[in-house]
Amino acid sequence: MQLVLDTEQQQLRSTVRKLLADHNNVRSVVDGDGAYDAVLWRHLAELGLTGLVVPEELGGAGAGHVERAVVLEELGRALAPVPFFASAVLAADALAALGDTEVLPALAAGEKIGALAVSPGWGPAPVSATERDGGWVLDGHAPFVISGDVAEVFVIYTADGWFVAEDARRMPLTTLDPTRGQAKLEFAASPARRLDTADPAAVLEEVRDLASVALAAEQVGGIGKVLETTVEYAKMRVQFGRAVGSYQAVKHACADLYSTSERAESLLRHAAWAADHDREALPLAAASTQAFTGPAYFAAAASGLQLHGGIGYTWEHDAHLYYKRAKSCELLFGGHDAQLARLAGRLDGVS
């Protein structure tokens, strides 16, 4: 097991961090009219990051999940408003597990944006599939599809198996987190291509485990940024003639943030390593990291916001964006109770 990044992985982190420092502007989306940062997305594609874990023969970089976690940490740290999680994680992982060779290269190259439609409880989406005239059509709707407002390709898990479609009515939703769009999709006799697999439910479980690791990486990046900005503010802000960080209550709160960051990162490193080297250990590792990191990120964001005092509650400061992203991420896969239940289920299977 490897819990420390090697030299190449550290260089990858530096490259992505510099790219985001130069080009990321979350406010252009939060305060503007765009649904995502198209310029930043193009830069990510040019670096081959949109197909990081996709095999090279399908147009990807053929890297591992540890490397993808490094990229996701930086995207989460910067609150980058790009559809990376939906397209390069959820949709790409599903298509790779299903052996698709028609759409996956376009997603890997960043030429198209993908999204995954499942039910809010990670079961079959309320979409029916009908075989007609030698093909398939879809009817129904899929709620709360991450980046469904900007996606061009939809991977749908239904009671009849997996399908890919490009024809759907997209209705953007107003959600808590303004940095990551969601949409309701409606299918009305929409042409679709079926992706045959012997066990559709097993594919969904694999995609969910990998998504849990990827989401945890975003969360670890967010925790790290909250820790950094909060400590900087505590050292700079003076009250009653002293830096507020010199007060014991603030010191303890910052120490708690640091401890949270270290524990979350350790869990993430193990889970990402398991995704690359020990798939039997992945289900438990993924459940463990998500059960901890979801509430940990929200608690860290809430603490960071409070420690910034009055300025932390203003619209102009980014603290509230991390707070909203943290709560959104915590609820994304069913909330903390669902994560604990999933972890308990995985522990039951450990002999």
Domain positions in the chain: 7-109, 114-199, 201-349
CA distances from 69 to 84, 144, 214, 247 (A): 12, 24, 6, 36
Which single residue is written with the structure tokens 């290269």?
105
| pLDDT tens sequence across 136-179 | 999 999 999 999 999 999 999 999 999 999 999 999 999 999 99
Q: What is the pLDDT of residue 3?
A: 78
* Angle at CA of residue 113, ends 110 and 115, nearest 5°: 140
Q: At what angle do helices 335-348 and 282-307 cross, to 10 degrees?
A: 150
Q: What is the pLDDT of residue 61?
A: 94
Q: Does domain 7-109 have CATH number 1.10.540.10?
A: yes
CA distances from 126 to 129, 143, 167, 202 (A): 10, 9, 16, 19
CA distances from 33 to 27, 90, 138, 170 (A): 10, 25, 31, 17
DSSP string, 91-127: IHHHHHHTT--SSHHHHHTTSS-EEEE--TTSS--SE
SS3 132: strand
Q: How far apart (Å, rounded) are the C-alpha atoms in residues 268 and 296? A: 13
Q: What is the pLDDT of residue 351?
A: 53
Q: What is the pLDDT of residue 28?
A: 87
Q: How far apart (Å, rounded) are the C-alpha atoms in residues 323 and 264? A: 17
User: Consecutive sets of 10 residues in the chain, 351 residues long: mean pLDDT of each?
Assistant: 88 97 90 89 96 93 96 98 98 96 96 96 94 94 96 97 96 94 96 96 96 98 98 95 95 97 97 96 96 97 95 92 96 88 85 53
| pLDDT tens sequence across 265-306 | 999 999 999 999 999 999 999 999 999 999 999 999 999 999
Q: How far apart (Å, rounded) are the C-alpha atoms in residues 288 and 285? A: 5
CA distances from 9 to 69, 275, 288, 331, 344 (A): 10, 16, 23, 30, 33
Q: What is the pLDDT of residue 348?
A: 82
Q: Please report, as a single letter, which amino acid is at residue 242.
A: R
Q: How far apart (Å, rounded) are the C-alpha atoms in residues 13 and 70? A: 6
* Angle at CA of residue 229, ends 224 and 234, nearest 5°: 125
SS3 80: coil
Q: What is the pLDDT of residue 284?
A: 96
Q: Does domain 201-349 have CATH number 1.10.1740.10?
A: no
Give the whole-number percent of the chain exceeding pLDDT 90: 89
Q: Are 253 and 307 in contact (CB under 8 A)?
A: yes
Q: What is the pLDDT of residue 349?
A: 67
pTM for the full predicted model: 0.95
Q: What is the pLDDT of residue 190?
A: 97
Q: Are 128 and 158 in contact (CB under 8 A)?
A: yes
Choices 2.40.110.10, 1.10.460.10, 3.90.700.10, 3.90.1170.40: CATH for 114-199: 2.40.110.10
Q: What is the pLDDT of residue 32?
A: 83
Report the candidate in 144, 44, 36 with the shortest Cα–Cα distance to residue 88.
Answer: 44
